[in-house]
């Protein structure tokens, strides 16, 4: 007996759900590798406060930090007097965030949440923001739809994303040949660093879009090799790429050279490594 059209559609749906679940499990495991909270605190601590300021978070606002990690933006938002929920697919990052929040006297609610299917009500938040977080969700349109859905009419959506041309965008381009192929439908994270891409994702559902390219100064590393070795042991995506080629010493050596060379090309310091990492800061108001 030939399968009916309906049963074929059902099988396709089941397969799609299973593939999505496996993909999210892989993403969760990747970000749990290494020590992303250390990266957020030691290297890019300035980014969260910059996003909070640009989003004009005010005391009493209900704020959602999407793909919050250990709270790089959620904690400064809470310190400004807002009521903040930090959501992330990888709750393993929350313990470090809770400790940091307690040290600073910030009250944050931590919730496991997939950026592509968030467990929050429509129009629930005054401000919905993400600091180099939602850009790593694989399906950009689904994530953008969720950002709009949970933001109240007239509320603010604020995003800070690495640009394709900036250092981190170029780092991902450097690592791509050494990484496993992306799953079907997954889009490159640095696309969120292109204003036209983000505008297309939101469409006519937002207004008052303000987008600026800025840089964050990175001066914590003595040499380009120090940067490379730090990210090899602490940054989940880099760790995952090295694991993919771990049984090929020649490929490992090639990637070692390419990452250090990339940092060297961006280095404008004298005596120690200083880089400016470019990002797109975009805010919009929901209709």
Q: List, in order of start, the domains of the chain with CATH numbers.
A: 6-217+277-286 (3.40.50.150)
Is residue 193 within 8 A of residue 159, CB to CB? The reply is: no
C-alpha 159/C-alpha 133 separation (Å) is 9
The better pLDDT of the pair 17, 146 is held by: 146
Is residue 100 within 8 A of residue 128, CB to CB? The reply is: no
CA distances to 111, 259, 261, 262 from 226, in Å:
34, 11, 12, 12
pLDDT of residue 21: 84
The share of the chain scoring above pLDDT 70, in percent, equals 94
Helix intervals (H) in the chain: 5-32, 36-42, 47-54, 74-79, 94-104, 140-150, 167-175, 195-202, 224-234, 236-244, 249-266
The better pLDDT of the pair 118, 8 is held by: 118
Is residue 280 within 8 A of residue 160, CB to CB? The reply is: yes
DSSP 84-127: EEEEES-GGGHHHHHHHHHHHT--EEEEE-BTTB-SS-TT-EEE
pTM: 0.93
Structure tokens that stand for 95 in this block: 């313990």
Condensed to tens digits (0 to 9), the pLDDT of residues 4-50 reads 666 666 554 555 567 778 889 999 999 999 999 999 999 999 999 99
Maximal CA-CA distance, the chain: 75
Condensed to tens digits (0 to 9), the pLDDT of residues 206-224 reads 999 999 999 999 999 999 9
pLDDT of residue 20: 79
């Amino acid at each position: 007996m030939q399968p009916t059209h309906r049963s074929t559609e059902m099988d396709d749906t089941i397969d799609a759900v299973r593939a999505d679940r496996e993909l999210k499990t892989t993403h969760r495991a990747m970000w749990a590798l290494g020590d992303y909270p250390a990266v957020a605190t030691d290297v890019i601590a300035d980014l969260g406060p910059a996003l909070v300021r640009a989003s004009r978070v005010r005391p009493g606002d209900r704020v959602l930090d999407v793909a919050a990690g250990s709270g790089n933006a959620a904690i400064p938002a809470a310190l400004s007097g807002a009521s903040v929920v930090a959501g992330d697919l990888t709750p393993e990052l929350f313990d470090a965030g809770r400790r940091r929040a307690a040290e600073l006297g910030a009250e944050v609610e931590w919730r496991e949440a997939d950026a592509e299917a968030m467990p929050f009500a429509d129009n629930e938040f005054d401000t919905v923001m993400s600091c180099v977080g939602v850009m790593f969700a694989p399906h950009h349109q689904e994530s953008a739809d969720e950002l709009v859905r949970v933001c109240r009419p007239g509320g603010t959506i604020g995003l800070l994303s690495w640009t394709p041309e900036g250092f981190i965008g170029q780092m991902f381009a450097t690592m791509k040949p050494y990484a496993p192929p992306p799953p079907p439908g997954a889009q490159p994270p640095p696309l969120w660093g292109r204003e036209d891409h983000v505008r297309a994702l939101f469409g006519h559902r937002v207004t008052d879009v303000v987008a600026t390219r800025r840089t964050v100064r990175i001066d914590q590393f003595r040499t380009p090799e120090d940067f490379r070795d730090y990210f090899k042991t602490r940054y989940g995506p880099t760790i995952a790429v090295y694991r993919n080629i771990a049984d090929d010493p020649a490929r490992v050596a090639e990637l070692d050279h390419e990452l250090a060379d990339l940092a060297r090309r961006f280095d404008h310091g004298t005596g120690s490594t200083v880089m400016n990492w470019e990002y797109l800061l975009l805010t919009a108001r929901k209709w």
